[in-house]
Amino acid sequence: MTRYVDIASLEDIPAQGARLIRTTDGCVALFRTADNRVFALDDRCPHKGGPLSEGIVHGHQVTCPLHDWVFDLTTGAARGADQGAVRTWPVRVERGRILISAESLMRGKAA
């Protein structure tokens, strides 16, 4: 069962903006869409490591700021056949608070 951790208020992220969470093994980017949904993806673009949190959010997608690859925020998949994907993490919004799976924050720690 997924355990969730309260990490921020929905108001901490501007609409169509992003916020970065530093974890033990890299950064997770939280994206808020215009319809107030929140998604969590690894911040590192699989192309050449661009920071997705600095990309442009449009619809339920984000465009990497470096070379314009477009990622689906719901799946992490890049648009186009074999362009790869970024990992996504479970997120919930409850009463204006953002909860993210504890696993996303603990990854990389020795078992």
Nearer to ligand FES, 37 or 67 (CB): 67
- Least distance to ligand FES, CB of residue 6, Å: 30
Pick from 3, 22, 58, 67 the residue near ligand FES by CB under 6 A. 67
Burial class (CB in 10 A: 0-12, 13-18, 19+), 66: middle
Pick from 69, 88, 91, 105 the residue near ligand FES by CB under 6 A. 69
Let me know the angle formed at the C-alpha of 15 by 19 and 62, rounded to the nearest 5 degrees.
65
- Spatial distance between the Cα atoms of 6 and 97, rounded to a whole number of angstroms: 7
CA pseudo-torsion sign 92, 98, 102, 103 = positive
- Six token digits for residue 107: 């990854």
Pick from 8, 10, 17, 47 the residue near ligand FES by CB under 6 A. 47
| Residue 43 near residue 29, CB atoms below 8 Å | yes
The piece of 13-21, 25-33, 45-53, 92-100 that touches ligand FES (CB under 6 A) is: 45-53
Query: Is residue 64 involved in binding ligand FES (CB under 6 A)?
Result: yes
Query: Is residue 50 involved in binding ligand FES (CB under 6 A)?
Result: yes
Render 67-80 in DSSP notation, one character per residue: T--EEETTT-BBSS
Query: Is residue 48 involved in binding ligand FES (CB under 6 A)?
Result: yes
Per CB under 6 A, residues contacting ligand FES are 45, 47-50, 64, 66-67, 69
